[in-house]
Structure 1
Amino acid sequence: MHTEHNTAHTWITTPLTADLLRGALDLEHTEHGVLPHRLPAWARKQIPDGQLAMAESQPSGVRLVFRTRATAVELDALPTKRDYVGAPPRPDGVYELLVDGRPADRGSVTGGNTLTIDMTTGSAETRPGPAGTLRFTGLPGRAKDVEIWLPHNETTELVALRTDAPVEPVPDRGRKVWLHHGSSISHGSDAAGPTSTWPALAASLAGVELINLGFGGSALLDPFTARTLRDTPADLISVKIGINLVNADLMRLRAFAPAVHGFLDTIREGHPATPLLVVSPIYCPIHEDTPGPAAPDFSDIGAGKLSFRATGDPADRTRLTLNIIRAELSRITAARAAEDPNLHYLDGRELYGEYDHAELPLPDRLHPDAATHRRIGERFTKLAFTANGAFAPTR
């Protein structure tokens, strides 16, 4: 490390290494710095589309964690911001600062690359831009644990970390590691910030360390995702299956059950007795009984509102709907649980059901808003981590 001087602080620059990051499975060294990934390099070579490549590089649940007496922290970062043709501009990604586990500040990094996506054609174009600096000051001068949660929905290359006192990795606090996989809802779509996605909220409430493999549009029973779950050390595992299979119209009913069995078999190769919770989809009216594919609905785009609609044929019983998936997941987990007592099932409508939708409708017909993320996170904590839940300490 080296020091720099300005009028306010003597800065110490600390290398951005894996021991200062949590929630990432791989660090790619780029020309600018390091890019956290949520899938390992071997899995990324097997990704078949740009949607998952983008989603896994967005650092949902990834945070810098270090111990320091610093009163000021600076982070240089190069974000990649998304821009959708015809849609209103997206807000900058949010970084959240925690001191000894408590929210202390938040900020954004301006500039960066811009990825422009045309949802009507599926094309995407990247325009390069400059890195920016995030600055937190006025921190208490005592020894403390500092966490900087990276934007859950904005690809973030980390360029440099500067502090006005030395930094060291936080020692292992002995907390259990919860490994979760799901769709954009788990990824955190439309959450208020990276610590208030529903998995981050649940992890905070339950006092566990989160590794969030929620991938927007990409919870598709991919074998490389199952192998990643198999190979990642964890004390608790959950997989939320269903909505992307429907809105991508990826497979028919005949393929679904064997794919679920194969996915769970692979996880069990690496975690034969770990508590494993299968979660079915939350309530989503457009897909309860209507198959996909889902398509963007531009009818209110002039008012700045993009929503989605289901375009499949409800009469085709070979195609997947949310109700068909819930019935199949319930059947599959019940059959497997006879020989696997650590396998559990949770109906997603217990997290967000018809009555919740009446009170807190899905703004774009697919994704929960910030208030709904909080409700789902609180419900999941109660249903999974307490009493007779799959992750209850007494199990």
Structure 2
Amino acid sequence: MRDPITTPVTPDLLRGALDVERTERGLLPHRLPARARAQFSDGQLAAVEAQPSGVRLVFRTRATTVELDTLPTKRVYRGVPPRPDGVYDLVVDNRLVGQASVPGGNTLVVDLATGAAERRSGPAGTLRFTGLPDGAKDVEIWLPHNEVAELVALRTDAPVEPAPDRGRRVWLHHGSSISQGSDAASPSTTWPALAASLGGVDLVNLGLGGSALLDPFTARALRDASADLISVKIGINLVNADLMRLRAFTPAVHGFLDTVREGHPTTPLLVVSPILCPIHEDTPGPGALDTAELARGRVRFLATGDPAERERGKLTLGVIREELARIVARRAADDPNLHHLDGRELYGEADAAALPLPDRLHPDAATHRLMGERFAGLVFADGAFAGRRAG
């Protein structure tokens, strides 16, 4: 690059993050605010909230070459086949034009048997995109949905300025690893990112792998964030974590929704029940890795609960779907902007036959696309989120 221009990576160039942290190396996006992060000590949640699903660097420029230095942190699980490096998507004027990964970086080695984690330091790396179209354009670099990325330096061959506000509605979504994008092909092709693109909205994705657990601090984060549309996808983590019984679940859902409504009393609010997951439809958790499959080098999950325990209040996906529908119907009598979507409309029995969940828990890339297209049709086209921003 001839005469490169270095632009400081500042919060005004980021979208999709609720908070940013200044580190020794650069800027670290967070998807939960500092107040929430101070209220838990769970390493799983700390790891996934710092994985910037839905977060993108957005700017306007005439540059034809763009370089971004980042310091990734990759998670490695002992005994589990390594995951590919995280993918960065380059989107120019709403069109995906390039993809790249950053090798190296820090590594967090996790022992699944004990939960112990060892952090190993590594160097920053550089993404380089060339051959961008000449002329002024909106550029987005979508950060990996499954890998922490500290942003160190941005270089271009033409000046950069923050992209103008296009007046698009902001969609704030909360869910599990399925919403975060587990097993999606890339960050702009997770099902929420695809649905947001088709719906013409700006996404803030609070999909938190293993951590959609009706936590009060997450509800407060939703309450305090700016949003024109809000959705919460509830269920799978409560079952596979075996976290609570039906007696606790019902008031916890009410409390979660009450908190969100404190900050957004009339915002369209959609409650989405779980997509089909055959292992947990009628069998409670906890979920676990299938050790026999792991010995063959394959990651598969199974349900370890006893179906008979449903009578004593253990949760299954079937139980949760029925209760969520009842809760929303009851609340909607006084809240006309509250809506419900059965997750099986996004992925149901016929889909499971055609596109089975590869690890029995997470959808693959083709299923993310299917779910994103269906959500856009069911919710944005003529459903709960139809219409344009008032004014």
Calculate the TM-score normalised by the size of structure 1: 0.97
Task: Report the CA distance between 1:122 and its aligned residue.
Answer: 1.5
4+ runs deviating over 3 angstroms: none
> Residue 323 of structure 2 aligns to which amino acid in structure 1?
E
Matched position secondary structure for 2:292 = coil
Query: What amino acid is aligned across from residue 38 of structure 1 in structure 2?
Result: R
Within the alignment, does 1:193 sit opposite 2:194 as a pair?
no
Task: Deviation per CA, 1:190-215: give whole Å up to 9, x if none.
Answer: 00000100000000011100000000
Percent identical pairs in the alignment equals 76
1:392 equivalenced with 2:386 (yes/no): yes
- Counterparts of 1:372-387 in structure 2 under 5 Å? 372-387=367-382
Structure 1 pair 206–84 and aligned structure 2 pair: CA distance change class (3 A): same
TM superposition shift of 1:394 = 7.2
Residues 306 and 364, structure 1, Cα contact 8 Å, conserved in 2:
yes
List gaps (5 residues or longer) in structure 1: 1-7
Match of 2:145 among 143, 148, 152: 152
Q: Distance in 1 between matches of 2:353 and 2:110?
A: 32
- Alignment match, 2:37: 44
Q: Does 1:206 align with 2:206?
A: no
Q: State the partner residue of 1:310.
A: 303
Q: What residue in structure 2 maps to residue 121 of structure 1?
A: 114
Q: Does the CA-based 8 Å contact 1:119-1:296 persist in structure 2?
A: no
Q: By how many angstroms is 1:117 displaced?
A: 1.2
- Structure 1 range deviating more: 185-194 or 308-317: 308-317
After superposition, residues 98-247 of structure 1 pair within 5 angstroms as: 98-247=91-240
Question: SS of the counterpart of 2:308?
Answer: coil
Q: CA deviation digits over 1:272-311, x for unaligned, max 9?
A: 0000000000000110011111011121234431111111
After TM superposition, give the deviation of residue 49 of structure 1 in Å: 0.5
* 1:237 CA drift (Å): 0.3
Distance in 2, Cα, partners of 1:114 & 1:283: 33
Q: Which ranges of structure 2 fall in alignment gaps of 5 or more residues? A: none
Tell me if 1:72 matches 2:62.
no
Q: How many aligned residue pairs are there?
A: 387
Match of 1:328 among 309, 323, 343: 323
Q: Take 2:71 and 2:159, find their aligned partners in 1: how far apart are those partners? A: 24
Is the CA contact (8 Å cut-off) linking 1:185 and 1:216 kept in structure 2? yes
1:315-345 superposed Cα distances (whole Å, 9 cap, x missing partner): 1121110000001000000000000000000
Post-superposition shift, 1:349?
Answer: 0.5
Aligned residue for 1:299, secondary structure, equals helix
CA-based RMSD of the aligned residues comes to: 1.0
Matched, 1:287 2:271: no
- 2:259 aligns with 266
For 1:175, the aligned partner's letter is R
Matched, 1:26 2:23: no
Aligned counterparts of 1:163 and 1:59: Cα–Cα separation in 2 = 23
Amino acid at match of 1:353: G
Question: After superposition, what is the alpha-carbon deviation per residue over 1:129-176, rounded to whole angstroms, capped at 9, x for unaligned?
Answer: 000000001112201000000000000100111111110001110000
Output the CA distance in 1 between the equivalents of 2:148 and 2:388: 38
